[in-house]
A and B are shown apart, each in its own frame.
Chain A
Amino acid sequence: MPGTSISEKARETFSLLAENLLRDRGVGMELTAVVGRRWSAVAGPQGDLPLASAERLPLADGWGLVLYGVSRLKKTEREALLKKVEGILSVGPA
């Protein structure tokens, strides 16, 4: 994805985090590049997303998270997850 860029290592780390979240808690998490109204998929788990409400969370620097079934997480778990994602994104572009 041109524009908002991410290193291959960061993409892999995010995808692994998303895979684990989906497997362990049934929550889908997609990293997206946000440009205007368009939230374009950048990284996420392999395979299907859980069939649940999509919640969009804008992050810094043109990134966004789309979470499916996030109500399955406690507030503290959610905050910890966001910190992990921000840590992955802070590594910088490719």
Chain B
Amino acid sequence: MAVATDVRSWIANRIRQDEITRYMDGDRCFIDDGAIEGALERGRNPDAGRVREILAKSLAIETLTLDEASCLLHVEDPDLQEEMKAAAGEVKRRVYDNRIVTFAPLYMANLCVNNCVYCGFRHENSAERRRVLTMEEIAEETRILAGTIGHKRLIVVYGEHPASDYDYIADSIRTIYGVKVPTKRGYGAIRRVNVNAAPMEIAHLKVLHDVGIGTFQVFQETYHRSTYERLHPAGTIKGDYLWRLYSMHRALEAGVDDVGIGALFGLHDWRYEVLGLLRHAWELEEKFGIGPHTISFPRIEPAANTPYADSPEAVVDDDSFARLVTVLRLAVPYTGMILTARERGDLRHKILPLGCTQVDASSRIGIGAYADVEEKQEGERQQFILGDTRSLDEVVRQLAEDGYITSFCTAGYRCGRTGRKIMDLLRSGREGHFCKLNAVLTFREWLDDFAGEATRAAGEKIIVRELDEISRRFPEVYPSLLDAYEKVAQGARDIYF
């Protein structure tokens, strides 16, 4: 597929070298291959006593060093692995309690100028049916997500192309926030739009900041530079490793103080990628005092007409996937961890207790797919194939049956609990207390507006239990909570602490 001249010109002006080098230490970037390889080597055959010391540090909600994380990555003893999993679950409970946040992906456009070998959107993939949603189509997708399914939080996804540049992204976010749909007892609306898009220059990030984005996500895909350069062809924008690597620096400089990092597991050794993510978290903490708001750890999945994705070179099996999730939870205890519907439902059920905080549900990743009557997946308009297509109602019900409360809370970024502040509050456990109150209020909203009968029954039990716990643990705020709760039950919406 040829690239038109005007698109070529757009590509040529995309990368701003000064917005890379300003963050670097001379010609050195923060991913030091030798340092990561050295840590991986030193971590082999860890002593059980040392491992338990490291677990104690995680339980004190402290970020681990590369050497400490490497020790955990090399634990092979099954009993010690079980101790690690238990500690990861405990870290999650201390910081986030029993809450799980839900969201949905909304894919806006699948035009892309890049040619990543594992991706269904790559521009040479002639099997992909290309489309950019109009604002009316975006509004229609949002009406279904917010008014029929009941989502409050989206991750909006765009290919890298002038047709879906920052101005289109800004317009699309305004459109989403403008949709308000009557529901059984109140109204449905999207309250937080997180963005997964290509790296941008600071001026463009400021435009997104101004329209009120939640988290800005860019995944490095692989931190291993030579692998990166092999899988992302030279001459494409994405072929520039450093432009991508410093995306979060630019976002933080633009004032977007909730940023999300991630790696696509399956491209290179999973242990290396875990240390790459950890190094990235440290770099942001050291330079900006703010670590990542979320970490994502998707595994590569099959995509239409994409042979690489059918047999990736560094396959991560389910057991290794559980181990990497466990170590990420232990290594960066204060950060949200996103387990997506790429994974099968049964596996998500097993992985969630290892410390994940967010899951998507009712997910459709075809362009315009929420408005379709047809429910089956179509590889030709998707980036990859989903493993879990259960509805939000089904997922919420299972979470409730497992003792979790689904939180639709989006209060933090609207009342100053962002960036360094929220990190401090997460570390101390205080943010968890705010979230506990807000989870009850937003879960009440969702149960009244959207839940099926069985889910509502399971949810009511959780609500009773949560209210009882709050009355005992936080008696000083309980009357205020009950007051807000009654208002929500009467149809008031978006009340928060």
> Which residues does A use to contact B, with CB under 8 Å?
1-3, 30, 32-33, 35-41, 44, 47-49, 51-54, 56, 64, 66
Contact = CB atoms under 8 A, between A and B. Distances in A.
14 contacts: A30-B416, A32-B415, A36-B212, A37-B212, A37-B414, A39-B413, A41-B418, A48-B428, A49-B434, A51-B437, A52-B476, A52-B480, A56-B415, A66-B416
Interface in B438-488: 474, 476-477, 480, 484
Contacts of A36: 209-212
Contacts of B254: 2
Contacts of B477: 51-52
Main SS class of interface, B:
helix
Nearest to A32: B416
Contacts, number: 83
Given A3-B255, A51-B497, A53-B480, A38 B434 contact: no
Nearest to A29: B416
Interface stretch (B276-284, B320-328, B371-379, B419-427): B419-427
B402 interface: no
B180 interface: no
Interface in B22-76: none
B427 to A, nearest CB: 10
A43 to B, nearest CB: 10
B255 A40 contact: yes
A38 B212 contact: yes
A1 B209 CA distance: 13
Contact of B255 (A35, A52, A53): A35
Contact of B421 (A35, A37, A41, A51): A41
Given A37-B212, A38-B413, A48-B428, 6 more contacts: A3-B255, A38-B209, A39-B415, A41-B418, A47-B428, A49-B430
Given A2-B253, A51-B434, A54-B415, A35 B480 contact: no
Interface in B226-256: 253-255
B265 to A, nearest CB: 31
Nearest to B421: A41
Contacts of A52: 476-477, 480, 497
Contacts of A53: 480, 484, 497
